[in-house]
Structure 1
Amino acid sequence: MTSPPTRRDAAPRPLHRATPPLMPLLRPQSFETVDRVAQATAARFTQGISPHAQMSAWIDWASHLAQAPGRQLELALEGWSSAARLAHFGLHNLFSDKAERPFPPEPDDRRFDDPAWRTFPYLFIEQAHLAQRQWWRKATREVRGMRPNNASRVSFLALKYLDAFSPSNLPWLNPVVADRTQREGGANLLRGFDYFLEDFLDVATQSENGNGYVVGEDVAATPGEVIYRNHLMELIQYKPATDSVYAEPLLIVPAWIMKYYVLDLAAHHSLVRYLVERGFTVFMISWRNPTAEDRDVTLDDYRTQGIMEALDVVEAVLPGRKIHAAGYCLGGTLLSIAAATMARDGDNRLASVTLLASQTDFSEPGDLMLFVDAAQVAFLEDMMWDQGYLDTHQMAGVFMALRSNELFWARAIKEYLLGDREHATDLMAWSADQTRMPYLMHSQYLRGLFLENRLTAGRFAVNDEVIALKDISAPMFVVGTETDHISPWRSVYKVHLFTDNDMTFVLTNGGHNAGIVSEPGHPGRRHHIAVRARNDRYVGPDHWRERAKLIEGSWWPAWAAWLERHSAAEPVARPPIGAPREGHVPLEPAPGSYVRQR
């Protein structure tokens, strides 16, 4: 008996179940995930700064400069000229101390103000540093053909690198530090090292900074009640401080980049207290500090669950009344989106709109744009995608880099080299109380507004329909600050181009925070103010400043008077706290629990 014939090409019978094919598992999304994980890992080491974004700027500059022999010759001659002027100055100072400095510092540069810098050889050291700064400023000017933003970025980075090695930062080249060290026998350096270790451990352990300001007692202490809470925000209603009030309440929308109480600092610095004491019924949104669980919270969630739900609650407390709305920083940008959406949809509950240091157009957003391009946004997105949020120290580093001399080096010299501990202020305590940003929301903000400028380009859609700022008919009060590095005042001023309503624009001195925290009696405060009537012709920002009225003092009284003019003439009785019939009862005393989240 013979066995049956077999086919030579027949496959042997497997001894076990076959492994699934590999290729269906290797979809394009899988490779992209690997890339995002790699970028997120790199971002943890660079604090969210994209190496590609930085290097591409340097390569753009260097490659164009290499093909520009005229610019190279110009820079070579400039270098020889600077060296000759510096040598002449040094020789002159060997015999006289009255020689004029060939390289004076910039008006806002305070590093060399101490008279000790006027002595030799420190004066020569200062001039050598400033000569290098001037040469690099000229060297990093835009070369024909390169991207203007890359030129600005290279210039910014070059000057920051030079400033890091400024003689004022080096104890053996700083005459103030050298004199203090000699007089104290080095005790100042020991104290400074102790302060450094203390600060380092605070950052490493994410502990309280010990600034002495307690939320709810020293700051964020204006009396009130939390009358509403959802996943994103708490709504605070402040207790009236007058027997009668203006009929129209005021809802304030702060930024959620930081805690709300920059507008409710210590009693004499509190904008909220100032308004309440002048008869306004004030409501404040206090945003929740997001965690990784909030990664998919969107920008529109902040509009719907923040501003719109807050308006509904205010309307329930004071039915039938129009509402003044004010937004600060990113809160103002969101308020302008909400106001345009309400105007489109026929919702006329707003009596007025106030924007405090808030941008609506992002075509010229200032120094922050040096950190934002497609490569940088993608890098940040991958880091946030991995974490679920943008962390506090990752944002703080960018803001500190913009003003490193004032915010970092000056403090480091004072505390770590001179051994003088800087006394905390309420504004400093607030700036140390940082928050996080949800992944999806921040990505939408960076791409849709900052990078693509959709709001004023007619491409920003809410509920699948484009909105337009020109639909806002409510009068507007807009404040810009002269030295704002986050929302430059000329960028804030551009709201004139996209609206047709009555608008009062104020330009106050100070920066993004200090210019807004500008209580009456604050020394050195001043502001320009002018009114644009409906359908007036456009006036450019610099021409506007020449024509606007200059007033010495705080802008707060001007805003309070403007709110009064846009409110009902007759005062009304003090309102109740909350709306019990609508279920909005006091939940806990202000400032609530969200502001205490870390």
Structure 2
Amino acid sequence: MTETGTTITPPTLEDMQRWTWVMGRAQQMLLEFGIDRMQQAAAQPPPIDSLPFTGLDAITQAQSDFWSESVKLWQRFVDPTSAPAPAPDPRLTRDRRFSAPQWRDNPMFDLIRQSYLLIADHLIRSVDGIDGVDPKQKEQIRFATQGFVDAMSPSNFAFTNPLVIEKTIETRGENLLKGLTHMLRDISRGQLTHSQPDAYELGRNIATTPGKVVKETPLYQLIQYAPQTTEVHRTPLLIFPPWINRYYILDLNPEKSFIRWAVSQGLSVFVVSWKSADASMKDVTWDDYIVRGQIDAIDTVRDLLDVKTVHTIGYCVAGTTLAATLALLAARGEAKKVKSATFFTAQVDFAKAGELNLFVDDEQLKLVESLSGDGYLDGRYMAATFNLLRGRDLIWNYVQNNYLLGQDYAPFDLLHWNGDTTNLPAKWHKAYLTDLYRDNKLAVPGAISVDGTPIDLRAVKTPAYVQAGREDHIAPLESVWKINDHFAGPIRFVLAGSGHIAGVVNPPSAGKYQYWTSEAPAATLTDFLAAAKETPGSWWPDWIAWLSNQDGDKVSATGGRVPGKGKLKAIEDAPGSYVKSR
């Protein structure tokens, strides 16, 4: 038979049998999975749900111009000559969901795409018209609306995505079965997969910089790296990575590894590898991470190498506690234990902490508490929160590619690390969210104490190197800048291209991105940006030049400078056992 000149071939018996088998196999997979989940239900953690938001019923209907634009859209679809063709949609150029030509070449899918973008745009804009709610609640509504809009994209559904339809016909449904396998595996894990699951192994092709674990406490392992130069700087470098992730973000592979690069620059490098929380850490608090974590590690390195002072780095939340550590040392008259402090995308004043602040209110804190029955918070919940901040890239992109299209996962070391979650001590995590994010106590002199001592960031005179990411959605540029409003010592502020991870993990050999510095005094971020000079490539050489100016003395890389050859004997090879614990 024919329709509008196109021959439609009815399905053969073989085709019908094939599709019957595909549907039956899919039902069987779901049934088997459901039975298995019922048998394991008592032993499984609660499901990861989207965090609730209040005030969603305040979202109003789109304004009157929405209807006008809708009529025009349908008019162009029914009669393309009745209205002028629209200008190219600027959103299309930056929206990878609709970059395939099928979304424009096929009139029906072009209509679906344009209708979705029109509705999405008006939904987001309608939030601005809501009255009678406080600014934070309005931001929560906007965030939830954006999440809803992204979830409802036609690219996320098999029958409204032309690529999925083509793939399904081409593979005769194999893509859907393969995608269902991916989805059921992720449900079993309670976590979305982003990278080929078995592509990386710690110590084999990731976290491979040679070193030894030279100390182990109930809170952390201390890793000392083997020198690569005959002489090293007298003052060693001690790195504090965030405890909400594994430390090896700074040691992904030899080309990307900040740790390996720092060792090659003639530094004696130590890294703290935090223990992933378990029930034994239910009473761990802020004091533990500062006093029995960071200060203990500082004193350990000083004693091991017989030096009076160390250089330090604090990444993200570990930078926040490093600021508190410096303030406590200043209050104790021990500030000279730290020669310099470098902050990677770290915040000390949370007044402008960005979208993560939307997850910190009484309801969210109750949820965190309810998920921490054994004294620790499963790291998958934090991973889900961070994925929500970039849902289009870290959730829905994988729904389309790996669930609907049935594509294999590509090996990607950074995304492998992103999915290698770490459990958090519940008591400390709740206090962190309450005291710092919600109440912003660290920014108020004397409002917060460590080990019974009130601290004041204004007492910190340690030279500091502060790096921020231009596109950072975890620690926004405006928030990181505010460290300048609190420290009393000299600060070199550097703005790196890209975001929270790529802005930090950007080796000189990659030749990517850029950074901005200013030698002129800047009272505000606006002043800094106006005077800043752009330099192509990595900011790492700028940092090592700054660090070398703090201390140019060199010593022989022998004795205690070699892991296991000094006062502390080697316990095991890097990367150690704590980073492998789950």
Normalising by structure 2, report the TM-score.
Answer: 0.86
- Contact 1:317/1:578, CA 8 A, preserved across alignment: no
Distance 1:94 1:292, change over 3 A: farther
CA contact (8 A) 1:48 1:380 kept: no
Q: Which runs of 5 or more residues in structure 1 are unaligned?
A: 1-40, 66-71
5+ residue gaps, structure 2:
1-41
Q: Which amino acid aligns with 1:465?
A: T
Aligned residue among 297, 320, 325 for 2:312: 325
**Residue 234 of structure 1, aligned match among 221, 238, 247:** 221
Partner in structure 2 of residue 112 of structure 1:
98
Question: How far apart, CA to CA, are the structure 2 residues paired with 1:555 and 1:178?
Answer: 45
CA contact (8 A) 2:93 2:99 kept: no
* Cα shift at 1:419: 2.4
1:462 aligns with 2:462: no
2:536 is the alignment partner of 1:538: no
SS at match of 2:91: coil
**C-alpha contact 2:559 2:566 (8 A) present in aligned 1:** no
* Counterpart for residue 58 of structure 1: 56
- Does structure 1 residue 151 correspond to structure 2 residue 138? yes
Q: Equivalent residue for 2:285? A: 298
Does 1:170 pair with 2:157?
Answer: yes
114 and 571 in structure 1: CA distance in 2 versus 1, 3 angstrom threshold? farther
Which of 269, 274, 277 does residue 261 from structure 2 map onto? 274
Give the Å deviation of 1:453.
0.3
Q: Distance in 2 between matches of 1:187 and 1:383?
A: 37
- Give yes or no for the alignment of 1:562 onto 2:546: yes
Cα offset, 1:382, TM superposition? 3.7
1:597 corresponds to: 581
- What pairs up with 1:86-165 in 2 under 5 angstroms? 86-91=73-78, 93=80, 99-101=86-88, 104-105=90-91, 108-119=94-105, 120-141=107-128, 143-165=130-152
Identity in percent: 32
Find the aligned partners of 1:145 and 1:314 in 2 and give their Cα distance. 55
Task: Give 2:362's match in structure 1, choosing from 361, 371, 374.
Answer: 374
**Conserved in 1, the CA contact under 8 Å of 2:244 and 2:422?**
yes
Which SS does the other structure have where 1:121 is aligned? Answer: helix
Aligned to 1:21: none
What CA deviation, in whole Å up to 9, does each residue of 1:40-91 have, x standing for no partner? x9x975647664xx23x335x36xx7xxxxxx7xx43232233234234435
Closer, same or farther in 2 for the Cα pair 1:226/1:345, shift >3 Å?
Answer: same
Q: For 1:479, what is the secondary structure of its paired residue?
A: strand
Match of 2:464 among 461, 473, 476: 476
Residue 365 (structure 2) pairs with residue 365 (structure 1): no
Any idea what SS the aligned residue of 2:357 has?
helix
- Cα separation, 2, equivalents of 1:521 and 1:96: 52
Residue 449 of structure 1 corresponds to: 436
C-alpha spacing 1:436/1:94, structure 2 compared with 1 (3 Å): farther
Moved more, 422-431 or 208-217: 208-217
Instruction: Describe the SS at the equivalent of 1:395.
Output: helix
Q: Is the 8 A contact 1:233 1:286 kept in 2?
A: yes
Change (3 A) 1:94 1:231: farther
- How far the C-alpha of 1:156 sits from its partner, in A, is 1.3
Asked if structure 1 preserves the Cα contact closer than 8 Å seen for 2:233 and 2:551, the reply is: yes
Q: Deviation per CA, 1:541-572: give whole Å up to 9, x if none.
A: 24422321111111112112211121224454
Shift of the alpha carbon at 1:456? 0.6
Shift of 1:177: 2.0
Asked if 1:491 is matched to 2:475, the reply is: no
Give me the whole-angstrom Cα distance separating, in 1, the residues matched to 2:191 and 2:500.
Answer: 28
**Structure 1 residues 366 and 271, CA gap change in structure 2 (3 angstroms):** same
Q: Supply the distance in 2 between the matched residues of 1:205 and 1:504 (Cα, whole angstroms).
A: 38
Q: Is the 8 A contact 2:314 2:322 kept in 1?
A: yes
Partner residue in 2 for 1:225: 212
- Greater Rg over alpha carbons, structure: 1
Output one character per residue of 1:397-430: Cα deviation in whole Å (capped at 9) or x when no partner. 1111111110011122112222221212111221
Query: 1-side partners of 2:502 and 2:540: how far apart?
Result: 13
Contact 1:578 1:585 in 2 (8 A): no
Aligned: 1:395 with 2:382 = yes
Displacement of 1:477 in angstroms is: 0.8
Relative distance call for 1:82 and 1:152 in structure 2 (3 A) is farther
2-structure distance, mates of 1:226, 1:262: 18
1:162: how far off?
2.0
Distance 2:377 2:566 in 1: 36
Residue 30 of structure 2: aligned partner? none
Per mean C-alpha deviation after superposition, the further-off stretch among 188-197 and 127-136 is: 188-197
Per-residue deviation at 1:326? 0.2
Measured in 2, the distance between the counterparts of 1:389 and 1:550 equals: 44
